[in-house]
Structure 1
């Protein structure tokens, strides 16, 4: 009898573990949305972007398929894009009016509704990782500037010189804007990066990282580090990461509003994201959003010519794209 009891306990425990680790998982990513001329973007350039997007999905899939958490997948995915000079985040971030690079990032987990963010930092190589540290190792949600850098150092992150982020492509973009004596407008690409993941335990996480707008002034901060604007996650609805003209996203409370549309109007993740992008369009804003619900359904909506994007699911379904 004792032997049978032990066998039953072992079987029951194994069944629980098996059930937890065979639940569907999914991940969706973006690398920014904006004006993209398909004719001028050569096949070679498109291939460069698609290769990075595929690598990001492969890393995320490896994390999730081995029982990793959605937050782990989000962080690792975004770090890859921050380290690439192709995107407006980390290494490839755009310049401010003063020829500096200032970075913003945020993360949120859907189970606890905990969140962390940093803004206007100049010496943090991977802002997404420090945003996660703010969530997990501080009593705050959002830190900015020198305070965020001090926190990062205390948590063991090695600072980098601002010159680490400089790329000739971004410098030329700033010079073109300065020569035209205009601010960055909706004609500029929105190269923010983001990721939303659902893990095998049913938990959703979202993250966003950016260098903001080319030629930004006065310590401008956009939507990416603002929870409920550029980033939001809730296990009861879904997770979202945005890219676009941040002022509009802040005014709309964009990502939280999508969650509300799903919760109160019972819209699907695709319907809710599409409706919110419609609101953005009516205000005159441009950009896009990626979303993922608790069942692994994916949304990738935008009102621009293109958005660097991709997704992968536990069943092997996968896709990457740039243009509509």
Structure 2
């Protein structure tokens, strides 16, 4: 119930347990001209592995939070993505990592920023959620907390890659911005719906090449880069973080869906008093939800673009719709559902929200 009214998902009757998952590995100027067939195949395989890891947990009855972490850990360990092992370098030549996670059941959340020795920041973010009274820890304090939680650490040699070092050198030598070097925002993320009807979202990143002064983007910010609420949706974002923070992208999408999900009093009456009529109305609502969800995501991404930012989001709804929206040339992405959907993709033919 919300404000005395009934949400659609409170009334929907599911014949069999459903699950759904979507993942992303960054959005940006990702075109076929920039991609060799070999590299494209490598990215598709990496996305499929992460997708399969999360889907397997959901299919076996596991939780949405566990599925999100399983998918993200694999991408954090893969140097092709800007998270964990493949993180970009700061101006000072360090790798500073950010991550966040949120459980839609109770809206518990955990986030960390500016950690430098945590092998899988998403796991530490979840420990903040479950083993502390806090939501957001940073830098040295976050790493001190990690030491009490048996979280695996790694030295600089684990995170560093030659490709990322060369990118930082070009930024400095040619006085370029991170956007000139990073043709994509390599943040990784996952959103999931489990068989118990619970949603979760998680996001992890190394930030932007050459970032300075302890810069923090949207990935660890609950409501900007990550949000989950069983009453509306789960969202993970990737893009130009400053704009995603200003728009509050992840929560904005969920808030729009919350409003869409409020049922008309006449429908509520039918559900309670006229079961035969209610079934038809419920089916209509379910079909409309996918359209409403896509429109909500596209509208928020248009707002980001209007301010001058770009990037993309993935989202999953309580009905199991796994959706994308991005205003860039491409986004590394994938989705799988209990109804047989299983796909990964990289390029985008039409930008989200464009007529």
1:11-90 map, 5 Å: 22-90=16-84
2:89 to 80, 83, 95: 95
Contact 1:108 1:231 in 2 (8 A): yes
Cross-structure match for 1:247: 242
Contact 1:183 1:216 in 2 (8 A): no
Contact 1:241 1:289 in 2 (8 A): yes
CA RMSD of aligned residues (A): 1.5
Cross-structure match for 2:256: 261
Give 1:226 deviation, angstroms: 0.4
**Mean Cα deviation higher: 182-191 or 73-82:** 182-191
| Alpha-carbon separation, structure 1, partners of 2:230 and 2:121 | 24
| Alpha-carbon separation, structure 2, partners of 1:270 and 1:300 | 8
Cross-structure match for 1:7: none
1:159 to 153, 163, 172: 153
TM, length-normalised to structure 1: 0.92
Contact 2:58 2:64 in 1 (8 A): yes
| Alpha-carbon separation, structure 2, partners of 1:195 and 1:187 | 25
Q: 1:265 to 1:66 in 2, by over 3 A?
A: closer
The answer as to 2:325 corresponding to 1:301 is yes
Give 3-state SS (helix, strand or coil) of 2:45's partner.
helix
| Alpha-carbon separation, structure 1, partners of 2:84 and 2:73 | 8
Cross-structure match for 1:271: 295
| Alpha-carbon separation, structure 2, partners of 1:124 and 1:207 | 16
Q: 1:123 to 1:102 in 2, by over 3 A?
A: same
Contact 1:209 1:224 in 2 (8 A): yes
| Alpha-carbon separation, structure 2, partners of 1:264 and 1:95 | 41
Unaligned runs of at least 5 residues, structure 2: 1-12, 262-288, 349-355
Contact 2:31 2:347 in 1 (8 A): no
Give 1:187 deviation, angstroms: 6.3
Cross-structure match for 1:9: none
The answer as to 2:121 corresponding to 1:127 is yes
Contact 2:98 2:121 in 1 (8 A): yes
Cross-structure match for 1:200: 195
Give 1:186 deviation, angstroms: 6.8
Unaligned runs of at least 5 residues, structure 1: 1-18
Cross-structure match for 2:213: 218
Give 1:21 deviation, angstroms: 11
**Mean Cα deviation higher: 101-110 or 175-184:** 175-184
